[in-house]
Amino acid sequence: MKSFSEFLQELVPGFEIVKLADLTYKIANISKVRIGDEKKRTFIEYDEISLNDLDPLGVIQVPPQSKDLGPANATSIRSQALQENDLVLTHRGTLFKVGIVGNHYRKVIVGNNSMIRIQFHNKHKAKELALFVQAYLQLPIVKKYLGNQITCESKERRILSSAMLTNLPIPNYKESEKFSFLELYYRRAEMCYLAQNILQEAERIVKYTQELKNTSIFDAINRENSMNEVLCKDNTQIKVVEKILNEFREIE
């Protein structure tokens, strides 16, 4: 039976397969910061983040209505605070959500629960590599592989360890002057986001036009409006549908 490394090598022949630890600075569990002696919990200028709050590009957001937080241990804040381009993973269950830390936060941010943090060596050049690793960890084949590494019988208590991630096989990625993964990633994320919006709008239009179709017989019986008024309303919907189709063609 092929190992996962051999499987990857077939997918990307010619590329070296390394361990995730080889591309990163540190992979470790982080936990809540409200620990230690209660009398020493004095730091309150921070926000807790959740991986339920990701934007379309996978950047972690702080909810507008963030909850009131109690004082935290300042020493824990210093060690657990998230930095730009860190990756953060949920490690319970098999969803393995992955968020990237941005640079737009007003306060120090920390995880709202136990998480795994992946850090990279050079903060100034980490962006592209962080996005590459984030995209890799979201691949269905990688999620399946990681899920198979967890042996806990209880689904609710399935926990991914940092050691498992450290040894995760991954194609070696090196930045190129001729190719920008950032540009490719952002463009395709934008396409996905636009397509989702188009589909939502299309579903709304389909529902609305079906309702118009269903009222045709009543419009004919009641004759409250002239035919021109009715058709004008329909023509507006046709133009909306044509706009949606044109946007699909542009994506392709």
pLDDT of the chain, 252 residues: tens digit per residue? 789 999 999 998 988 999 999 999 999 988 776 655 666 677 778 888 888 899 888 999 998 876 677 787 777 788 888 999 999 998 776 667 899 999 999 888 888 777 899 999 876 678 889 999 999 999 999 998 988 887 665 555 667 888 889 999 999 988 777 888 888 888 888 888 888 888 888 888 888 888 878 887 877 777 766 777 767 777 777 777 777 777 767 666
Pick the closest to residue 87 from 112, 111, 107, 63 (CA basis): 111
Instruction: Output the CA–CA distances (angstroms, integers) from residue 116 to 28, 133, 138, 172, 192, in the order listed.
Output: 6, 14, 15, 21, 27
Domain 4-175 in CATH: superfamily? DNA methylase specificity domains (3.90.220.20)
Phi, psi of 69 (to 5 degrees): -110, 145
Asked if 21 contacts 162 with a C-beta cutoff of 8 angstroms, the reply is: no
80 touches 33 (CB < 8 A): yes
φ/ψ of 115, rounded to 5, equals -145, 170
Rounded distance, CA 50 to CA 124, Å?
25
The candidate with the shortest Cα–Cα distance to 28, out of 114, 94, 92, 152, is 114
Strand partners, 60: 54
